[in-house]
Amino acid sequence: MRLVPTGFWASLALTLSPVILLAGPFDWPQWRGDARDGICKETGLLSSWPKEGPPLVWKTAGLGGGYTTPAIADGRILGMSYQGEEEVLWAREEKTGKELWKTKIASKGKVGHNEGSRCTPTVDGGVLYAVGLSGDLVCLNVQDGKTVWTKNYAKDFKGRMMSGWGFSESPLVDGDKLICTPGGDDAAVVALDKKTGNLLWSAKVPQGGGAGYASLVISEAGGIRQYITWLGKNIIGVSAKEGKLLWRYAGNANSTANIPTAIVKNDLVLSSTGYGGGATSLLRLQADGKGGIEAKEVYKVTGEDPRNKIQNHHGGMVLLGDYAFFGMGHNNGIPCCLELLTGKLVWKEEKRPGSGSAAMLYADGKLYFRNQDGTMNLLEASPKGYNLISSFKLPEPSGKPSWPHPVIANGRLYIRDQDKLFCFSVKAAQ
């Protein structure tokens, strides 16, 4: 067990406090929150839970099958599912869970695996953007679900996936642009006019290997604004201005599914993948003096335990100060803490409540770990060591693979389990 450096909490406070001070509701408008980093800026949350869990505000059923993590914005909860023979986008009322609308975007069965959709809708300016398993990219009105425009990754961009589980990314809005990853040879990443869907540029990535399962993030490393995401054979960075391929790295790619969204901090990129070739890598991006970027590997680690490698399957990572927290091990989300700059495993805890993969977020000094079997754990967010504060299990768990990430918005914790959505109050009494 390592002692926490005195600068840890100070650096974390400097990172978070400017946003925490902002007034207004704390929505969760896209994949992994405002900055796509799994960090909720809300404070004044419960410091612990009773044995049965925080108060259940409501639960609702009838969503249909799927792994989509919901987005929450404009008083609505937005997600995707398979319902019967259709793939649909749906909206529920934030206060009650009541269905407001649903819109069909594709017929079920074209492509995919198990229960259904994976994309988290991205909400921006009264509309949402989402992509179905068969590559149906849609822009819908948030209020009524009416279609604004549509594209299809395969038809319009000759897109393809690295493997057969369907398109899974959550599109990225950057200013007036919508950035997506069709995975085509001549259109690995594309920028569209977010209002019309018209193509602005496309990024060519030779031998990219199709689209990965991760979602794009923005970096300013090396003084160049760029979009970073996984393809089938590499993690890449492309210029935000014209889509030029700036760099690629294949050191921790696997041939099955590159899933977790990368973490960026200044000129650093932390990425992790599961499966046989998966590992956790840190890259340092530097300007090469020729208008491009050089990606240098700082480290690649897998650890000494062949059963539970230092790799994140699909539950996401959270970076707090100089420490990364995530569930490690393929299909076995063991809570752990990794020192960012060295790749040293600071702590891990195999004997935690729950089993299977674990998805997570950070809020108000705590880590919220949601296990595949429906167990929800509340941990202290500290590199000092593993400290389980509270734990409970979802009522009536589906018993099916259930991988959506937990979401906190406006004092409530949302957990999706296939056809059901649970809403818990986690706001402390004032």
Tens of pLDDT, residue by residue over 312-352, are 999 999 999 999 999 999 888 999 999 999 999 999 999 99
How many other C-beta atoms are found inside a 10 Å radius of the C-beta of residue 85?
9
Does a structural domain hold residue 26?
yes
Does a structural domain hold residue 260?
yes
Does a structural domain hold residue 361?
yes
Does a structural domain hold residue 428?
no
CB contact at 8 A, 212 and 229: yes
Q: Can you tell me the mean pLDDT for 51-75?
A: 96
Tens of pLDDT, residue by residue over 127-170, are 999 999 999 999 999 999 999 999 999 999 999 999 999 999 99
pLDDT band at residue 85, thresholds of 50, 70 and 90?
confident
| Domain that includes residue 162, residue range | 7-422
How many domains is the chain built from?
1
Separation of alpha carbons 15 and 279, rounded Å: 27
pLDDT at 18 over 70: no
How many other C-beta atoms are found inside a 10 Å radius of the C-beta of residue 331?
14
Q: C-alpha angle 70/122/370, rounded to 5°? A: 30
Kindly report the pTM of this predicted structure. 0.93
**Positions of E strands within 16-98:** 39-40, 56-60, 71-73, 76-83, 86-93
Does a structural domain hold residue 15?
yes
Residue with tokens 């100060």: 321
For residue 257, what is the domain's CATH number? 2.130.10.10
DSSP state letter for 157: H
Does a structural domain hold residue 2?
no
Q: Which two tokens stand for residue 379?
A: 């941990």
Residue 139 amino acid letter: C
